[in-house]
Amino acid sequence: QAAQVLLQDVNPLIEGLQRPTLGRVRNFNVVSGEFIQILHTGSNHWVCISNIGCLPGKVHLYYSLFHDVISQEVEDQTNDLLGGNLVSLDFVPVQQQTNDSDCGVFAIAFAVSLALGTDPMHVTFDIHRMRLHLAACLKDKKLNMFPVF
């Protein structure tokens, strides 16, 4: 949540960025413009969704631990965020994590990239520097692009 609060400063025109816990209880405020949102999948995993560059009702899913099936929880939360108007939730091919614990860091990195106008599909993050970068950003209360190669 701290990262989503700081993302508002990166790009104040982006909607979403609501507390991830609101999605689990189906209490998101409906968005009408471009948004970025970090979601908890309900299975000990974090993802990023956004409709930036999408047609109405379509949403991109940035998922660092690829599975060929979108969890119903993520689809339901996305639909709630759109006020029941979700048409499709589509995987975007992005860099994959190399362990079972970096999903939150990747979800935040994807969100920062999107907020700065960079498509995460075209970015390769320096995995070994991501956590230190996030810690520094949170300490400084300012998010910036995660280290890339």
pLDDT digits (tens, 9 = 90+) for 42-91: 888 899 999 999 999 999 999 998 776 788 999 999 999 999 999 999 99
pLDDT for position 21: 83
Q: 64: burial class by Cβ within 10 Å (0-12, 13-18, 19+)?
A: buried
Give residue 143's pLDDT.
96
Residues contacting 90, CB < 8 A, separation 6+: 58, 59, 60, 61
Over residues 102-125, mean pLDDT: 97
> How wide is the angle at C-alpha 149 spanned by C-alphas 118 and 13, nearest 5°?
20
Under DSSP, is residue 144 helix (H, G, I), strand (E, B) or coil?
Answer: coil
Give the mean pLDDT of 28-36: 94
Q: How confident is the model at residue 130 (pLDDT cuts 50, 70, 90)?
A: very high
